[in-house]
Structure 1
């Protein structure tokens, strides 16, 4: 990705995250990206491409924020992942998952559905690898998604609940 594409994608992500997918006009998106309309359309020739670029930027930022520099010990890695997801929710998007919101805004879009599936799949795979819970990707994704979706209602309590569920996943029968 070029520096210009990164700049545009970051601005688009910010606009869609703060205003949703329907509200921002093309002029609003141009302003958020900090480029001319011609440059915006050169790099993202349609609104659908703008949404995909924004979500790709978000995908990379999320993976970096949640998974980079995790502790090597599996229990500590699990605690760190769930804590970092809570921090992400508190600082980035207190109203839920932007990927799910994008699919809800355009449910017939195959590229959006594929990006959602890739994002969630990578999250589950990285969480399983970091925590030594390979084979429990679905369970980990349910915990992480539950934290994300419950955050708007319960805030910090969701991290504590996710930590308890993660502990139970690591220690079945206890």
Structure 2
């Protein structure tokens, strides 16, 4: 049940932002009664956290599941997948940053943002055999996320060139 609720909440927040959807809108998106929604997510803050935890898992799966074994190809695949995520899931930037911007005082949201980005960096470094370049890889991925709405496929190709330059430096 929680998975169904989290998926619906994620869709609602991704489509309409964090301030606009009413509790009734969120209930409808989750496909449950108001009582059930509040049973699993007793507050709006809990609803946002549930949505973002669901998004975290989906994002990691989309980027890192079944990558090529070749590290160069894995790097290109991860960056292509970021572009695909932007095209199909969100065309306006990172929902994690948007969640924190909507509630800047939320320590749980800030912690989730930090752990999400750390896990993305760690998985990218492991998949590409660039373990000592996790921050640089995160910078490339984050730059792609922010630039894709403006430049689309050109941003993906630029990110790939930066990734290959990073690899060629032997970092």
Q: Please confirm whether the aligned pair reaches a TM-score higher than 0.5, indicating the same fold.
A: yes
Superposed CA RMSD:
0.8
1:70 corresponding residue in structure 2: 67
Q: Equivalents in 1 of 2:131, 2:87: separation in Å?
A: 28
Deviation larger for 147-156 or 45-54:
147-156
Q: How many residues align?
A: 170
Instruction: Give 3-state SS (helix, strand or coil) of 2:132's partner.
Output: coil
Matched, 1:166 2:163: yes
Counterpart of 1:60 (choices 44, 57, 64) is 57
TM-score by length of 2: 0.98
2:34 corresponding residue in structure 1: 37
Q: Equivalents in 2 of 1:24, 1:113: separation in Å?
A: 21
Matches within 5 A, 1:85-100: 85-100=82-97
Matches within 5 A, 1:1-174: 4-172=1-169
Instruction: Give 3-state SS (helix, strand or coil) of 2:66's partner.
Output: coil
Q: Equivalents in 2 of 1:149, 1:28: separation in Å?
A: 28
Instruction: Show structure 2 runs of 5+ residues with no match.
Output: none
Instruction: Show structure 1 runs of 5+ residues with no match.
Output: none
Report the Cα offset of residue 157 of structure 1. 1.0
Task: Show CA shifts across 1:62-100 (max 9, x none).
Answer: 000100000111101000000000000000001000000
Instruction: Give 3-state SS (helix, strand or coil) of 2:159's partner.
Output: helix
Instruction: Give 3-state SS (helix, strand or coil) of 1:93's partner.
Output: coil
Instruction: Give 3-state SS (helix, strand or coil) of 1:136's partner.
Output: helix
Q: Equivalents in 2 of 1:35, 1:156: separation in Å?
A: 38
Which 4+ residue blocks in structure 1 deviate beyond 2 angstroms?
none
TM-score by length of 1: 0.97
